[in-house]
């Protein structure tokens, strides 16, 4: 029984993008276009170089923003405002997901590498406004990004999360390594499974997965 492995969990941490909405909404496609353009404008480079730099930043630092900050001292606030200025028209309310998250015992938070204002917009578009006890963006982690352990430590300290009593839901398998090492139950939410020791569970349907936690 899946629910038995979560019987100790009283704190629930959810990533946002491609986790609390399905990947086919393709919001990140819009964000990626804006991130690439921002790199081009900020550094005065053409798109091929911007693409190369973004790949380098992602592998070296975890996010495009982290690379821009560490290698070019870019101000994160205008960047976050710009890249998240996207359409949310493709998002739909999911009343079942709302009900199952609401039924989880204990504290429920969102923690994203995006900004908290962006997260609030997405949650509202999904009908999840008011469901979570707190929403944290990269700005709350002093702009340290997941997958860095320091980022998780900062957020969990602010919220009072006790990792051994918590679970993390995340689409990027890299971002589950630190939570696992800290003692959390980890759930990879993605179309395809990723086999790794730091992943306890996989699901391609978060709503269905949570239904078993609150019904079993």
Residue 57's pLDDT is: 95
Would you put residue 62 in left (φ > 0), alpha (ψ -120 to 50) or beta? left
**CB-count burial class (<10 Å; 0-12, 13-18, 19+) for 66:** buried
Asked if 148 and 113 touch (Cβ cutoff 8 Å), the reply is no
Fold of 27-83: DNA polymerase; domain 1 (1.10.150)
Asked if 27 and 88 touch (Cβ cutoff 8 Å), the reply is yes
Residue 28's pLDDT is: 87
Q: What are the structural domain ranges in the chain?
A: 2-21+92-215, 27-83
**Residues in the chain with pLDDT values less than 70:** 1, 216
- 59: tokens are 């592998």
Residue 216's pLDDT is: 60
In whole angstroms, what is the distance from residue 79 CA to residue 190 CA?
A: 27
Fold of 2-21+92-215: Rossmann fold (3.40.50)
Residues in CB range of 135: below 8 A, 6 or more apart: 109, 110, 112, 116, 119, 120, 123
């Amino acid at each position: 029984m899946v629910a038995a492995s979560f019987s100790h969990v009283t704190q629930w941490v959810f990533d946002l993008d491609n986790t609390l909405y399905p990947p086919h909404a393709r919001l990140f496609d819009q964000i990626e276009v804006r991130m690439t353009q921002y790199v081009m404008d900020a550094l005065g480079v053409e798109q091929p170089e911007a693409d190369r730099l973004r790949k380098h930043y992602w592998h070296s630092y975890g996010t495009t923003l982290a690379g821009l900050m560490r290698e070019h001292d870019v101000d994160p606030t205008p960047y976050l405002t710009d890249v998240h200025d996207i359409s949310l028209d493709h998002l739909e309310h999911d009343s079942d997901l709302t009900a199952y998250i609401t039924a989880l015992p204990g504290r429920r938070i969102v923690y994203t590498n995006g900004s908290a204002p962006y997260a609030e917009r997405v949650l509202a578009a999904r009908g999840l406004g008011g469901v979570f006890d707190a929403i944290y963006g990269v700005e709350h982690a002093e702009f340290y990004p997941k997958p860095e352990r320091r980022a998780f430590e900062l957020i969990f300290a602010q919220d009072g999360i006790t990792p051994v009593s918590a679970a993390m839901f995340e689409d990027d398998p890299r971002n589950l390594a630190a939570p696992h090492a800290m003692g959390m139950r980890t759930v990879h939410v993605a179309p395809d499974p990723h086999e790794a020791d730091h992943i306890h569970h996989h699901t391609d349907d978060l709503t269905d997965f949570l239904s078993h936690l609150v019904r079993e």
